[in-house]
Chain A
């Protein structure tokens, strides 16, 4: 199985800050990577697919990069509605696996 390791596990930041979350795959996954945002009691929401493509309707302050084993999600200027948990997910091979999540909290 491909292990997905996110860092940090949690981060505190302020409105307007730039935040970067990283995701490392235990083996190469090309660009078969997606990023999701999840708020308490809600379903995950797709932000980024194919490592760097912005899902329709997602604000442009979200961006993704990387290929192979190392990936990043960047939020350029945090907004109040961005405080949530973020997950990466690989779909290169079965079983599909997710990172453990990064909780983004208000400082």
Chain B
């Protein structure tokens, strides 16, 4: 079965760090583009970051310099290292398979994890 399972969320103080994980099954993370998308409580969806199959990475301006996307090919797992966390980073974080590598699918996110909640508060 093709699925993504996030973990690592929790309550963290402002300025702290957290690493989210996204374990994939049924497909290979390193052969796909993978993104993180977040959703603040009661708000809409916000794209955070993407890692290409070739290793290139891109970030939203709101997290650039603070967050780092990476993957462990041996574990078939995607990560998001979040540093210098702020209250406005409070959200459910989803990992998603980004179909940008398939020209016919035009960058749609076709597989999503269930999400992990990150709360930044003192």
A2 to chain B, nearest CB (A): 11
Please tell me if B105 contacts chain A, counting CB pairs below 8 Å: yes
Q: How many A-B residue pairs have CB under 8 A?
A: 71
Q: Type the 1/0 row for A29-54, where 1 means its CB is closer than 8 Å to any CB of B.
A: 01111101010001111100111010
Chain A interface, number of residues (Cβ within 8 angstroms): 29
Contacting residues, chain A, for B108 (C-beta < 8 A) = 34, 46, 49-50, 55, 89, 91
Cα–Cα distance between A33 and B98 once the two chains are bound (Å): 13
Take A44-B109, A94-B58 as given contacts and tell me if A50 and B104 are in contact as well, using a CB distance cutoff of 8 Å: yes
Contacts of A43 in B (CB 8 A): 94, 112-115
The interface stretch among B10-18, B42-50, B65-73 is B42-50
Closest beta carbon of chain B to A73's beta carbon, Å: 13
> What 0/1 pattern do residues 16 to 57 of B give for CB contact below 8 A with A?
000000000000000000010100000011110010000000
